[in-house]
Amino acid sequence: MPRSRINGNFIDKTFSIVANILLQIIPTTSGEKEAFTYYRDGMSAQSEGNYAEALQNYYEAMRLEIDPYDRSYILYNIGLIHTSNGEHTKALEYYFRALERNPFLPQAFNNMAVICHYRGEQAIHQGDSEIAEAWFDQAAEYWKQALALTPGNYIEAHNWLKITGRFE
């Protein structure tokens, strides 16, 4: 039974109802509808912390979805799961792939910056300030891209860029 039929959460149920109505109204192919169903089920599983199930749904959605813009959000969500699992290299790979298809995802740039900043902090704890600075510089570049897309968002990143002299 599709996840959308068994969800007990009011918000998820509401989203599923609206999504089903949109799928009936908007002229799309059966493949696109099926891809969206897998994507929706993936988001639902992800929100419940069922990452393995979410990944299965996202991979199936990727197999069916042909639109680059829609694929970018699937890839982004796969990146989120890998980030949550501490698999930062995989997460970065999926964020890059998402941005190849849609360069206007500030959240992907932000998440990449957060990972780079975290790696910089790890390098400091390991006593390697040169490596740390390289990671921080990379984080700064990603945050600048996120801020260019959404000025006014990511206030903490903006402040960090100013404090560290990386905002130019």
CATH of the domain at 68: 1.20.58
Q: What is the mean pLDDT of the chain?
A: 89
Q: Which domain holds residue 119?
A: 104-167
Residue 153 near residue 147, CB atoms below 8 Å: yes
Could you give the angle at which helices 155-163 and 129-149 cross, rounded to 10 degrees? 130
pLDDT tens digits for range 32-42: 889 999 999 99
Q: Whole-structure pTM over 0.85, yes or no?
A: no
pLDDT tens digits for range 42-65: 999 999 999 999 999 999 999 999
Residue 126 lies in a domain: yes
Residue 135 near residue 117, CB atoms below 8 Å: yes
pLDDT tens digits for range 97-131: 999 999 999 999 999 999 999 999 999 999 999 99
For residue 47, the 8-state DSSP code is: H
- 124, 82: one domain: no
152 by DSSP, 3-state: which? Answer: coil
State the total domains in the chain.
2
Residue 151 lies in a domain: yes
- 120, 71: one domain: no
- 108, 145: one domain: yes
- 120, 146: one domain: yes
Cα-to-chain-centroid distance, residue 81: 8
Residue 4 near residue 37, CB atoms below 8 Å: yes
